[in-house]
Amino acid sequence: MTPMKPLALAVAMVVFSHPAHADTDLDKVKQQLSSLQKQVEMLQKQLAKAEQKSEKLIERTIEQKEDIAEVKVAKHEHKPQGIKIGGAVRTNYSHTSYDDDNKNRGGDFDFDIFRLNFSGDVGDVKLNAEIRFFDYMTAVKYAYAAYDFADDWQVQAGITQVPFGNWPYNSHNYFFSTNYYVGLEDDHDLGVLFKRKIADNWQLDLGFFKNDELGGVDGYVDNRSDRYSYDIVGFREAGDGVYAEPTNPIGEYNTFSGRYGYHIEHEGGKTEIGVSALAGGLHDGVDRAGDYNAWALHLNSNMGPWNLQLQHGEYNYDIDNVNRIAVGAYSFYDSMAAEATMSSANVAYSVPVQWGAVTNLQFYNDYSAIYDKSDNSKDTWMNVTGFSVAAGGLFTYFDLVHGKNMPFVGGSLAGDSSETERRFNINIGYYF
């Protein structure tokens, strides 16, 4: 028999304690007792529901507090962390056709560079810089502050990359393309750059560069050829050698540069079709000595593992009675035609792998040429067949280079050689 509830028991005791009602009201008492039991059970159910609601409310409050705590932690984790330092150490092996001593030794293995990279945020301002240390010089590649002043726009000020051609490189190999050696690939100058991020399938970069990264024609430097990027440094008198220090200093100034790229989405990737142009003045330290300009049409297409780059354009340094100018970089001077046409075609194939530490291989063939030169010198061209290997912090280029009248391949941009030179090169870099 089920025990009576306390309230029902008390009622029953009161009722049955009066003998006059023992027989007559027994049914009524049972009915009342049953009704009271139902009421008690209903109250207990309501109390249980109220307790469940209270528990759910407490749980929801705890979850909300946990969500708020997670948001606070996430915000804390994304606060600016100051400046981060990275860098690289690179070594280089080369075996060449144009250096008999190098061939007799079976090639040379040399130190290439030690570099430091700095990047980070200070408030809403982004800072980026890279300095490179060679055996023979020290050079700042870039150093600029950037600020996102609108959803789609960023401004950079300092030594920043000049927007021109396929971005950021018109090549896949260690030696870039011939465009690099005339200052039209991976060039960095002192100025202001406005970058529109990719939105609505198009991108626009507009820059104003006061002068080159070493301060122009009268920059306070010991050697105007101690730089990473190729720039004009002057012109020579008739009879001076192509590698001689120029007797007439010249420098770029007040250069405007623009680059537009339209992006087309397609199956397997994206293709950018673009156009670039720049124009500026040339100064001899006293007065304006001339003008210069360049333009290029370019295409950069990714189709699955394949990448195709095409580029074509012209440059012109307009100085009275001058058809050959002097350029400087890597602590030596070279010469090039004051006006020429340039073309390039590159293809690459990337393969993700899992071979121990090796995670990616990229095979490529890059071809580029400079021709129709104003100084009537012979064509310059370079073809690089090779592959790169990514393995953890190591990145290595294996390049077989063939070239004619090509810097770093036994020649000069102003050379007149008919010989095709060869260079086998391995560049090993550890990045941290």
Position 37 scores a pLDDT of 75
Which stretches of the chain score pLDDT less than 50? 1-22, 57-58, 61-62, 65-66, 68-78
Do 418 and 385 lie in one domain? The reply is: yes
What would the pLDDT profile of 149-193 be if each residue is shown by its tens digit? 999 999 999 999 999 999 999 999 999 999 999 999 999 999 999
Query: What pLDDT sits at residue 25?
Result: 57
How high is the pLDDT of residue 315?
98
57 and 201 in a single domain? The answer is: no
Q: Which pLDDT belongs to residue 299?
A: 98
SS3 (DSSP) at 415 = coil
Query: How many folded domains does the chain comprise?
Result: 2
Of 72, 99, 121, which closes a domain? 72
Return the sign of the alpha-carbon dihedral for residues 69, 71, 74, 79.
negative
**Residue 128 sits in the same domain as residue 19:** no
Note whether 182 and 413 are within 8 A (CB). yes
Decide which of 72, 96, 126 is a domain's last residue.
72
Residue 419 inside a domain? The answer is yes
Q: Hey, what are 257's tokens?
A: 């540069």
- Please spell the DSSP secondary structure of 236-288, one letter per residue: --TT--TTSPPSEE-EEEEEEEEEEEEEEEETTEEEEEEEEEEEEEEE-SSSE
Domain boundary (72, 100, 122) is at 72
For residue 360, is it within any domain? Answer: yes
Question: Based on the domain organization, do 146 and 275 belong to the same domain?
Answer: yes
Note whether 216 and 191 are within 8 A (CB): no
Structural domain includes residue 13? yes
Residue 26: per-residue pLDDT = 67
Question: For residue range 113-156, what is the model confidence (pLDDT) as tens digits?
Answer: 999 999 999 989 999 999 999 999 999 999 999 999 999 999 99
For residues 364-396, one letter each, b for 16 or more C-beta atoms within 10 angstroms of the residue's C-beta and e for the rest, the string is bbbbbbbeebbbebeebbbbbebbbbbeeeebb
Asked whether residue 77 is assigned to any structural domain, the reply reads no
Q: What is the pLDDT of residue 331?
A: 96
- Is residue 277 situated within a structural domain? yes
**Residue 1 placed within a domain:** no
Residue 80 lies in a domain: no
Q: Domain limits at 175?
A: 86-431
Write the CATH number for 293. 2.40.160.10
Is 43 a domain residue? yes
Residue pointed to by tokens 């024609």 = 217
